[in-house]
Amino acid sequence: MKSIPVLHRWVLGAILLFVGCVGLLAIHNHGGTMYLGSFTTYNNDDVRYIRSAQTLFKTGVFSYWNPKESTVFIMPMLPIVVGACLKLFGFWKGLLAYRLLSLFLLMVTIVLIYLICRRIFPASVGLFAAALYALYLPNYWLTNVILTEILGQFGLWLTIWLGIVAVQTKKLSWFAACAAALSFAIYVRPNFALIPLVFLAYMLLQRYEWKALWKPMVVVASVMVLLMSPWWIRNAVTFHKFIPLTKSSGNPMMLGAMLNFQYPAGAETALRDVLKKMETAKGEIASDEAWVEAAKAVRDYGFQTQPKVYWKHYTIERVAELIKDPCYWSPILGISMEAATGQHRALVLIGFLGLLASLWRKDRRKSSSIILLLLAYFVVTAIPFVTFSRYGYVVMPMMTIYAAYLLHLMFPGKRQAGAEAGNESA
């Protein structure tokens, strides 16, 4: 942090002040009313997370669908954090406290994005990225709802920053810190679990020798096993089987196998038995396993009977559904959904052009490869499942960084000594 120019500190401070003011105004105007579900029927994720948090701190049972039954449908970090807020401040004030915490974590994430950009791009890219992400409207919508996105983004970008520092400095202590941050992130969102493979690829692109990989790999694996083991032990004791993450992929996999939420023609007849098994399965784990089996059967049937349609469905359409709309489901601060959609699509377009520019320029391919690898990781791991704007939110900081890089190329300004990537001290 000592190497950050004074001008950058002032600009970054102004950006954070803007985020804080807008975020507080959004929470003041909308925080008490922005619930996706009902506290009577508990018919959406946010209210179920809140009930899960309440139940966990009152009875010690980690639940989701039924407050009396233990669950492995979700990871526990969000209910733990929300529950701690409720315990400290009471119900309504506790929900307000969590929203304020989400706003703070959004601000920290913006700082992390800035610091990451300084390490892999010219320093001005960090300011452009911080400013663009501060203006991104879904951030303020998501700080007002009780979902995993803001907490997960914080954990993810903390992991990325620590990982880049670790790779560049080759210090095992940074690898250990990265593994701890990643474990936290996985406790929020299980789809982060294979990110070590992304960093392995990044290290190879940074010309790490194979023999130099062993110590970091052992450190990361050891820390993650240590920190994830409480979850594994809890699942083994409660469900009598090894469950490393969750059992909740069946429904999104089935929705992803459908065409416009309909079975492909003839599937209901051809797959009658497996679909009946899915519909009649009892119990959370057995039901999810039956849904996964049925989803694979529907997918395979679709590829057999309509190969061209399904190839398009699982490639072009799946990626388009992931990124075409913002995770902004209701207006805030008087800004319409149409305006937010226009902003989002402009950012995606500019980001894509920036990505192409980074590939075109040989001096940036190697240093910025971690962002491209992460973008590819989240797109590829989303393809087997239904995709929509909430799942696409995770890639928007990456698109923002590439958009910032394009702005840097268009408005380079003065080239300051020490402003190039890799000059920041650890």
Spatial contact of 401 and 371, defined as CB atoms under 8 Å apart? yes
Q: Above 80 in pLDDT, residue 74?
A: yes
User: What is the Cα–Cα distance from 246 to 38, expressed in whole angstroms?
Assistant: 25
Look up the pTM and report it. Answer: 0.94
Hey, what are 336's tokens?
């319409």
What's the pLDDT at 31? 85
User: What is the Cα–Cα distance from 244 to 232, expressed in whole angstroms?
Assistant: 6
Q: Angle 41-45-47 (CA atoms, 0-180°, nearest 5)?
A: 50
DSSP-assigned letter for residue 262: B
User: What is the Cα–Cα distance from 23 to 107, expressed in whole angstroms?
Assistant: 10
Q: What is the pLDDT of residues 36-53, one digit of tens each?
A: 999 999 999 999 999 999
User: What is the Cα–Cα distance from 125 to 398, expressed in whole angstroms?
Assistant: 12
What's the pLDDT at 49? 98
User: What is the Cα–Cα distance from 31 to 25, expressed in whole angstroms?
Assistant: 9
Q: What is the pLDDT of residues 283-302, one digit of tens each?
A: 999 999 999 999 999 999 99
Question: Cα 249 from chain centroid?
Answer: 16
Q: What is the pLDDT of residues 171-228, one digit of tens each?
A: 999 999 999 999 999 999 999 999 999 999 999 998 888 888 999 999 999 999 999 9
Q: Provide long-range contacts, Cβ within 8 A and 24+ apart, for 44-47.
A: 45/147, 46/145, 46/146, 46/147, 47/146
What's the pLDDT at 422? 47
What's the pLDDT at 424? 56
Spatial contact of 188 and 77, defined as CB atoms under 8 Å apart? yes
